[in-house]
Amino acid sequence: MRHPLPTLATLPRRLPAVLPGVRLGALLLAGLLAQGVAHAEGREIDLESPPAGAETWASACSLRHAMCVHGAPGTGASALLAALDALDRGWDVHTQALELPPPEADAKPTWDAYLVDGVPEGGRAALSSRDPRGALDRGESFGLIDRMAPPGCPLDVAAARSLAWGSLLRAAPATDAGTARAQTRMLARLATACAGSEEPERAFQAEPERTLVDPDGEARSSGASLFFDWVDGTFAGQPGALVVGTWALAPTTTAPAAWRWTARPTGFDVLGSSLAGALGTDSNLDDVFLQFGIDRGLALPPARVAWHVAWPAHARRLASPVAVAPSGTSYVLVDHAGAPAGANLRVEAMWEDYGRMKWAVVKLDAAGRPLAVLRVTSQPRATSTALTVELIDAVDRFLIVGVNVGSTEHTFDPGQGWWEPHGWVLTLSAG
């Protein structure tokens, strides 16, 4: 079951059109981006080894796929077989229905998964070596699954996530950690139809001002699956196609002796190219960030609001309690109760230089459903904008959405590690 974020069903579905030309598109995109990012540094190439002594553990191997599962000492035969069954079923869905590449084994005939204790969120994969075959970066891996995950949805999701992570390391090993956590959670949920715990999504919604793919905090960065689920459901022609497309169209070429991955292109570079014009003429990734910010503010679990204020009978000024990082969002709720009939709401926004922000005002009814969405226009490098909201007698409250769409100095980089946040000031008055 996919998370119930609003989708824009009428939008054009862009990514499937580029998938048949993946190889050509990847080379073209890499060439276009190479000049400006040739000397950029990506994240460290962090290699891991299988658990010590795992070669002596009890194991079971699939009769249908090149895969084995190994249990730490004390793992019962039933747990071992249940994990193998979950991996077998997950492998079928990932490689057939979702068309993900199978994980690449490390110089072995089988891809190995290990049942151990304390695996965050149940399952992941670890990079064991770089695949020297071919010019583009590829990674070899092994899986880690929490052996305490009970059979059923918890074990299915853990197995599916380890497989998805192995696929990602094979196809796009330079992917930043925050994006990897979010995308593998999204794919595991999609592959198993299991909703799982909402803790990551609650953590993500509790700090909307932070960047979408901030790797700090495992729960919060996994909760960013809401973004990839929304983008995939909104723009892709089939489930999972957006993630497959971004992996395929974001190839990196890292020198054999390097200790960091090449930083670009990233999946967000692919999104910026693929979704240009998807939300209307001249729309770009900034507009995608704004639309997600709007829909995120209407989703469950609810996003934390920076301010919730009464109708401004007298003009009042609000400052951002938390500065907004690139791709992050601030929310302000304004009640309509107390406004005289025929009144208007004047919204004036100012923000710090070197940051770019986009704003919208959503009219909500008493049930929290959107009646209208008003996007506030501004110049590309402006630091202020304003809008008078009219025809508001039927409105219960207003959701003001402010999205930091990135620096004026460079495009959004999910692997940057530290993103400069910017504050804002909002002036509200009755028109």
What's the token pair of residue 212?
């979408």
Using alpha carbons, select from 239, 231, 208 the residue that is nearest to residue 332.
Answer: 208
Pick the range with the lowest mean pLDDT from 52-56, 120-124, 333-337.
120-124
Per-residue pLDDT, averaged over 145-159, amounts to 96
Q: Please report how many Cα atoms fall inside a 13 Å half-sphere around the Cα of residue 393, on the Cβ side.
A: 4
Model confidence over 67-92: pLDDT tens digits? 999 999 999 999 999 999 999 999 99
The predicted pLDDT at position 42 comes to: 85
Answering whether pTM is above 0.95, one says no
Model confidence over 268-321: pLDDT tens digits? 999 999 999 999 999 999 999 999 999 999 999 999 999 999 999 999 999 999
Q: Distances in Å between the alpha carbon of 354 and those of 7, 155, 383, 404? A: 31, 46, 9, 11
* Non-local CB neighbours of 253 within 8 Å, separated by 6+ positions: 30, 135, 136, 137, 262
Q: 183 near 228, Cβ under 8 Å?
A: yes
Pick the range with the lowest mean pLDDT from 133-137, 173-177, 314-318.
133-137
Neighbours of 35 (CB within 10 A): 7
The predicted pLDDT at position 84 comes to: 98
Q: 230 versus 217: which is more confidently predicted?
A: 230
Max alpha carbon distance in the chain (Å)?
A: 78
What's the token pair of residue 65?
């796929």
User: 35: pLDDT confidence band, cut at 50, 70 and 90?
Assistant: very low
Model confidence over 360-406: pLDDT tens digits? 999 999 999 999 999 999 988 899 999 999 999 999 999 999 999 99
